[in-house]
Structure 1
């Protein structure tokens, strides 16, 4: 079908609707999703993004643990797990971020609330959706591998299984994150904090519109690579890196194995779930103080990325500029936020 220009755009902006006319059913749903159900669609995108990240990474972990328990070589490796998480992150950002903004991590949502004016109620919805996405991914992976895991658990002597079950080397360790035997809580905290701080600097550097060396199309791959490096270098010491993955996986383990899935070191639960929050906040502050420069030129590719979101037909700042009341058809208040519009 030949491209046509929307009559509403004097500058020749082409909307998806100009190229592809949707059926009345989908068009009606689209009006609804931009109105009363906008929050549901955004939360679904956040949950789906975390689902992709966790489904890819934990699936590779499952094969790794199963291979070790069954003494089969070549099923997976730390290298493969790192690549799996990286691929999941690339897919999550590439597919889901245009709908929700692409947080996919509670600590990123918290930073947006603290420093970027992200609405607190919306932030709570996002965090809930993120954890739910990780939880569903882990449960589905368990169902897919349930027969194999049950067979392995039946074949392992009870005393041996009890010793490894709630460790990174046991079946429950596929889903819940547990302290490495012989490690200390202090070491685990330091490992988690430093690694998460490193990841935060990379994330904020990748989304910095004045960073000409990381155009928007490269950002998903750069962020995915950073997570892969973190896994390759520091997961042996115990690494969560994302509270949605940790809490979602822990809830899945509790659902499957009961309260024993808390693990032998309950204090580690707090370290794995919460450490990335202060580490990411510190990373955001350091990046703002050291690396952000308001006098740098924003590259054309970043301006185009911004404009694509700003020119959204219904909810972009450009659309609101033509509306004296700054309200949409459902009467909901709109708040501009970093080139996109955040619905309160």
Structure 2
């Protein structure tokens, strides 16, 4: 398809090699569901790989007495970086959920298809599990050294399956003396804050947050959770918790479940009602359907909708509202956008 003044595609400027052409057609149509699942898995991989690796450094360094291998700050910063990478690289393909709580939030508030949601949740948990197993292989020699030190000091039974032990690199645990009601409150409020930030970043009428800023803001929200509230006990992500716990059980057996089964439920499920509550509060008090979409969001959403239309993929949610009958301000922004696209096409034609 030749380039037009309205839509300039990457294939118009940078055609794919022949060996990629067939796959391009397949992945945008029949295999699009599979590509979305891979994107969710890769997003989970990026955030878990960053966070679990930093946690491994902190735990091993603490047990072996090696100063400077990690800290609470490096763990929080690693998760913030991983979330930023995940959204920046994978969200354009799948929407960037990477968390069953976010997917369920989309089901409730955006009409996200249930079958698609089930595929996403499976991909997220599987991605987190595979990532934890990869990190274990990378860190195995040092983790074994840490285990042997705990055995020599007689601390294996008390430390191994705790947040300070090697199993705590992958699974989430709390101390036997910790009040679980306070842990539940800590999990709920922390996840509520993250959910509020996520939903605010998804609001196309929020003029303070352009789409390009969303990955950084959401990453900082996860960093805040690690820096401020992880010592009390916080998981923030069902996929991260279940994937990590299953990995720990694969490595060390059923002992890795942890002695407090109630906390396992809090870690795995606590973020879901908190995320839903955050979206509800934002919709009731902070969002407004009478506000106009920002210029950045108009371009962002229209490009996304055009992709769905070009590949015969049914748009969902508010994307259906981006039709030719737009209001005056949207039309003005569209005219400016089309003018800029025309200039790009002219440059392209002159170059060719």
TM-score (norm 2): 0.88
> Where does residue 155 of structure 2 map in the other structure?
160
1-side partners of 2:122 and 2:144: how far apart?
A: 30
> Where does residue 282 of structure 1 map in the other structure?
277
Q: Does 1:339 align with 2:336?
A: no
> Where does residue 32 of structure 1 map in the other structure?
26
1:83-102 residue pairs with structure 2 within 5 A? 83-102=77-96
> Where does residue 74 of structure 2 map in the other structure?
80
**In the superposition, relative to structure 1, how do residues 220 and 283 fare at CA in structure 2: closer, same or farther (>3 Å)?**
same
2-side partners of 1:34 and 1:310: how far apart?
A: 13
> Where does residue 201 of structure 1 map in the other structure?
196
1-side partners of 2:317 and 2:289: how far apart?
A: 17
1:167/1:181 contact within 8 Å kept:
no
**Aligned residue among 162, 169, 177 for 1:182:** 177
**In the superposition, relative to structure 1, how do residues 293 and 192 fare at CA in structure 2: closer, same or farther (>3 Å)?**
same
What are the Cα deviations for residues 178-231 of structure 1, in whole angstroms up to 9, with x where unaligned? 013421211111110111111111110111111111111111101111111111
Moved more, 86-95 or 287-296: 287-296
2-side partners of 1:257 and 1:192: how far apart?
A: 26
> Where does residue 124 of structure 1 map in the other structure?
118
1-side partners of 2:8 and 2:3: how far apart?
A: 10
Q: Does 1:237 align with 2:232?
A: yes
**Structure of greater relative contact order (alpha carbons < 8 Å, 6+ residues apart):** 2
Structure 2 residue matching 1:339: 3-state secondary structure: helix
What are the Cα deviations for residues 119-162 of structure 1, in whole angstroms up to 9, with x where unaligned? 10110000000011111111111000101111221232363111
TM-score (norm 1): 0.90
Structure 2 residue matching 1:217: 3-state secondary structure: helix
**Aligned residue among 292, 298, 321 for 2:293:** 298
2-side partners of 1:336 and 1:233: how far apart?
A: 37
Q: State the shift of 1:44 in Å.
A: 0.4
Structure 2 residue matching 1:218: 3-state secondary structure: helix
Q: State the shift of 1:308 in Å.
A: 1.4
Corresponding residue pairs, total: 320
Structure 2 residue matching 1:334: 3-state secondary structure: coil
Structure 1 segments, 4+ long, off by >2 Å, are 6-9, 155-159, 333-341
Q: State the shift of 1:297 in Å.
A: 2.2
Q: Does 1:107 align with 2:101?
A: yes
